[in-house]
Amino acid sequence: MVKYIILLMGLFTSLLFAELPTLKAEQKSLKISQMRVDIVIVGNIATTTFDIIYYNPYDRDLTGEFSMPLGEGQTISRYALEVNGKLREGVVVEKVKARQTFEAVVRKKIDPGIISLTKGNYFNTKIYPIPAKGHKRVVITTTERLLSDQYILPIQDQEPIDKFTLNIKIIKSSAKGKSILSEFNKLNITQDNSAFLMHFEKENFSLKRPIKFDIPTIDDSGKQLFTQTVAGKTYFYLNVKTPTLQKIDKKSPKDITIYWDNSLSAGKQDKTKELALLDAYLKSIKGTKRVSLVFFNYRLHKTKIFQIDQDTSDLIKTIKRAKNDGGTTLLALEFDQSSDEILLFSDAINTIGGEQVKIGKRPIYAITSAAGSNYNFLKKVSSKSNGDFINLSRLSHQEALDILLTDEEKFLSCSYSKNKISQVYPNLPTRTGREFGITGILKTDKANITINYGGKNGITQKQTFEIKREGDSPVARIWAGQKIDALSLDSEKNQKEIEKLSRKYSILTKGSAFIVLDSVEDYLQYGIPPPKELRREYNTLLAQQKKEFKDEKQSIHTHNLQRIESLKKWYKNPPIVEDEIEETAEREARTDDEEYIAPSEEMGGDIAPMVMPVAEPAPVAKAKLSNNSVDTSIKVLAWLPDAPYMKKLRKVGTKSFDKHYYQFKKVNYNRPAFYIEVSDYLFKRGLHQKAVRVLTNILELDLENPELLKVVAKRLLDEGEYDLAIKIYQEIKTLRPEEPQSYRDLAIAYQQKHEYQKALDIYTYILSKHWGRFDDIKDTIFNEYNALISQHRERLSLKGVKKSYIYPMPLDIRITVSWSSNENDIDLWVVDPDGEKCFYSHPHTKMGGKISKDFTQGYGPEEFSIKEASRGLYTVYLNYFSESRQSITGPVTIHATLTTHYGTKDEKSEKIMIQLESDKKTMQIGLLEYKR
């Protein structure tokens, strides 16, 4: 007789989320008004649906979001939102397209929702709007393989839920026994021919302990078989009890290299659990071992050597003392091929560059203890090196130790007639546990399949089972999930096939996203097939839609010619400007509540003091020109943050810096501004590596956040860290390929690294495309394009360059400003020696100054140009006009470049970086003195 026991127990070891999905807005968790949880279990595969209604207690609409780690083998297979009073199912589309669509729709103040996976194994959700004093219904479904005979629902430490409902369905197999015993008498237990059903419902529900219940164990038949026929194909899932697998002690290594991840994200690892395993393993190996310890974050650190017999204390103390700080570059890993074996302790969440690591032939044991780890990477490096993957969040200490100490027989392969069975997964050797599941497609009424187990010497044991059609269980998606897991071990090679399976079976992958849109017109506009309930209307509209055929390439070229001709016209004959400037123009530049700082006479001319703390002007950068005809200077007003921690760090100096830094970091852990300010201080003190380490922490705070990526990359570029900056800019380009700024930033980085051809090719690409709301960036690009050609023509191939685009336009003065956020309006103002202000409402000055077109949303750049500058002071201002970000990741960061003799061999520049804490302010950031 099989017993199904429903339990309320104290020990919490979640096999699902570490907590329930918690929707946050403005860093506060929203109250759960209603929750319904539906659990369906097939063998040892659990599918859990959270149907949650959140309440917004505030007087304004909010954007809600949550980011949570998924466990090993956990996937998201459904996402739905309430739209116009009805539940709208999400559809799976390519990740970048989903994000582009979401942002475009949000700008129109319409109701979208999106859910995607970021680096590691985190899922991220954004929902807008959550109505003021209103509710928002969200549905999320997860699927996972359970490693034990118990399921755990992590409902604990929750505020009371107005109404809570729990439904459990355990699909029957050939397992014998029908009775169910329960220790929870409020659970309503029933059954039908296909499943055991359990129901619980309560109002004002709260629970301090998770709900746990046992799942069916395999009976004497040794298997559980489930099948499903969909569109003429029969999918099967076979869950078997594995035979007793032999273990043999492996040869004791004498030379071990440990790679220990001490990046910021790795701080979420359970170091106590990992060190306990390491200590036990080293003590279990007889004799003296040479242990090499290598810490890594954004770079590899110096190797430390330990000679260990039984005393591991020095090694353990060294690891304990290590602080987690900085970003992660897996490309920095260079696995020591002189060691007998390698131990890699890491969550493998890579935040700089790619993951194309040289694995080598030495066995790698990849060990993690954190949910949300990059499981695919860890499995790949271990399997390809004939090592093993150890997940300490799912394995006991003894199970993990056994993996390190022994060579255990594994699942090797399956044998079957390819005429009767196809596409069986998993298809690579793997450890099994007490139960092991395989999926495939049955092509006939029945067929036999043999599971092969063994080790390095080949197959040693076999199990043969009959597969036949029986029942109708939801296993097609299980098959698709297993296939995606197999393909994901080489995700770059198999990207297209993974995306196809993701869309067909509604399984979230790293390259896809679920999206929900408001209306069928939105799906039509953005080319996204809608859910079933809108499909008929969508197809009707699609058939009626008139297609416009035009030569887009020629159209882009025509507009480009118009732009370059306009620039030439200004360059040859700057427009004549009337003596009087309309007062209305300045009024248009400010709203009534904007803080405006009046000009200061003592600084000379129409100059306003900064409204943020500044130090004395940096030393004047003098540019001595080769012809001695001009002497210029640029004064940059240094940004000096006045946060209490910065005052303290400046006071203590470098000797006790680390001590105070880590203390302040505990309080400011999630604040990007903290790391920017501290790293800026370190750069100025000449502590370069430490500054890079501190700065790159930002990359690990919010994975794949373009705003934060831009901030870090630009600062690294300014400090000469070209390779790191380029890696980050390449990621930004991948994340936001629809924005020309992503390409321009990368081109500038290549140019600063003296890779001029790569820069030119990127500029050419920008000019070849239409960029919608950002198309006016081409005016700036044409200047940069021609300056690059003028300065480095002898080192460039102009094969892909249109001759009509080449027109050198050197400038006496050029000033550019760009910013990190997509939803801010920042204005560049320049006041010339005559006191005339050049800005978006007065774009031309009598001296010949010109300001580029105003970017009212997103990044800039804005550009001030003057062909022949007059002698005197040019004062540079920023006007922080508006802030419209739905979710704020910290102060917007401004980057400005002040340049003289732009586009010539005598070009000189000074750069400025400032963080803006609040909007509606005008500030002076620098002076440029031009002398003739």
Count, residues in the chain:
932
Could you report the per-residue pLDDT of 686-718, keeping only the tens digit for each? Answer: 999 999 999 999 999 988 999 999 999 999 999
What confidence score (pLDDT) does residue 74 get? 87
Tally the C-alpha atoms within 13 A of residue 254's C-alpha that lie toward its C-beta: 2
What residues form DSSP beta bridges with 771?
A: none
| Mean pLDDT, range 818-836, rounded to an integer | 89
Task: Characterise 844 by phi-psi region: left (phi > 0), alpha (psi -120 to 50), beta (else).
Answer: beta
| 52-56, 479-483, 728-732, 782-786: least confident range | 52-56
What confidence score (pLDDT) does residue 151 get? 83
Q: Is the pLDDT of residue 546 over 80?
A: no
| 449-453, 602-606, 717-721, 879-883: least confident range | 602-606
Could you report the per-residue pLDDT of 118-168, keeping only the tens digit for each? Answer: 887 888 787 777 888 998 899 999 998 887 777 877 665 567 889 999 999
Confidence of residue 594 (pLDDT cuts 50, 70, 90): very low
3-state secondary structure of 651: helix
Confidence of residue 851 (pLDDT cuts 50, 70, 90): very high
CA gap 761, 141 in Å, rounded: 44
| 105-114, 392-401, 413-422, 813-822: least confident range | 105-114
What confidence score (pLDDT) does residue 800 get? 87
Q: Is the pLDDT of residue 865 over 80?
A: yes
879 in Cβ contact with 836 (< 8 Å): no
| Mean pLDDT, range 561-583, rounded to an integer | 80
70 in Cβ contact with 121 (< 8 Å): yes
| 73-77, 171-175, 570-574, 917-921: least confident range | 917-921
What confidence score (pLDDT) does residue 214 get? 76
Q: Is the pLDDT of residue 6 over 90?
A: no
Q: Is the pLDDT of residue 310 over 80?
A: yes
Which whole-number Å values give the CA distances from 822 to 321, 825, 856, in the listed order?
A: 40, 9, 10
889 in Cβ contact with 824 (< 8 Å): no
What confidence score (pLDDT) does residue 68 get? 75
Which has more confidence, 6 or 853? 853
Phi, psi (deg, nearest 5) at residue 15:
-95, -5
Terminal C-alpha separation, the chain: 99
Which whole-number Å values give the CA distances from 96 to 114, 546, 663, 730, 898, in the listed order?
A: 11, 26, 38, 15, 34
Could you report the per-residue pLDDT of 44-92, keeping only the tens digit for each? Answer: 899 999 999 988 888 888 877 777 788 888 899 999 998 888 899 999 9
What confidence score (pLDDT) does residue 680 get? 93
Hey, what are 82's tokens? 């309430």
What confidence score (pLDDT) does residue 605 get? 34
| 477-486, 737-746, 814-823, 912-921: least confident range | 912-921
Q: Is the pLDDT of residue 9 over 60?
A: no
CA gap 523, 535 in Å, rounded: 10
Percent of the chain with pLDDT over 90: 57
What confidence score (pLDDT) does residue 187 get? 66
Could you report the per-residue pLDDT of 470-517, keeping only the tens digit for each? Answer: 888 999 999 999 999 999 988 888 999 999 999 999 999 999 999 999
What confidence score (pLDDT) does residue 654 get? 80
Confidence of residue 10 (pLDDT cuts 50, 70, 90): very low
What confidence score (pLDDT) does residue 174 get? 58
Amino acid, res. 460: T
Q: Is the pLDDT of residue 440 over 70?
A: yes
What confidence score (pLDDT) does residue 653 get? 80
CA gap 486, 373 in Å, rounded: 17
What confidence score (pLDDT) does residue 884 get? 54
What confidence score (pLDDT) does residue 319 get? 97
| 384-388, 598-602, 615-619: least confident range | 598-602
Q: Write down the mean pLDDT value for the chain.
A: 85
What confidence score (pLDDT) does residue 28 get? 66
What confidence score (pLDDT) does residue 205 get? 85
Confidence of residue 37 (pLDDT cuts 50, 70, 90): very high
Could you report the per-residue pLDDT of 797-821, keeping only the tens digit for each? Answer: 999 899 999 999 999 999 999 988 8
What confidence score (pLDDT) does residue 110 get? 67
CA gap 349, 328 in Å, rounded: 7
What confidence score (pLDDT) does residue 410 get? 93
pTM, full prediction: 0.85
| Mean pLDDT, range 367-389, rounded to an integer | 92
Could you report the per-residue pLDDT of 278-300, keeping only the tens digit for each? Answer: 999 999 999 999 999 999 999 99
3-state secondary structure of 838: strand
CA gap 301, 298 in Å, rounded: 9
Percent of the chain with pLDDT over 70: 86
Amino acid, res. 364: I
Residue with tokens 């109250």: 31
Q: Is the pLDDT of residue 868 over 50?
A: yes
What confidence score (pLDDT) does residue 4 get? 33
Q: Is the pLDDT of residue 639 over 60?
A: yes
What confidence score (pLDDT) does residue 23 get? 67
What confidence score (pLDDT) does residue 369 get? 95
What confidence score (pLDDT) does residue 316 get? 97
Listed as own residue / partner, the contacts of 674-683 with beta carbons closer than 8 Å and 24 or more positions apart are 674/643, 674/645, 676/711, 676/715, 676/893, 676/915, 677/641, 677/643, 677/646, 677/915, 678/645, 678/646, 678/649, 679/715, 680/639, 680/641, 680/715, 680/913, 681/646, 681/649, 681/650, 683/719
Which has more confidence, 210 or 651? 651
Please tell me what DSSP assigns to residue 595: B
What confidence score (pLDDT) does residue 257 get? 97
| 34-48, 194-208, 794-808: least confident range | 194-208
- Residues contacting residue 635 through CB under 8 Å, at least 6 positions apart: 617, 618, 620, 926, 927, 928, 929
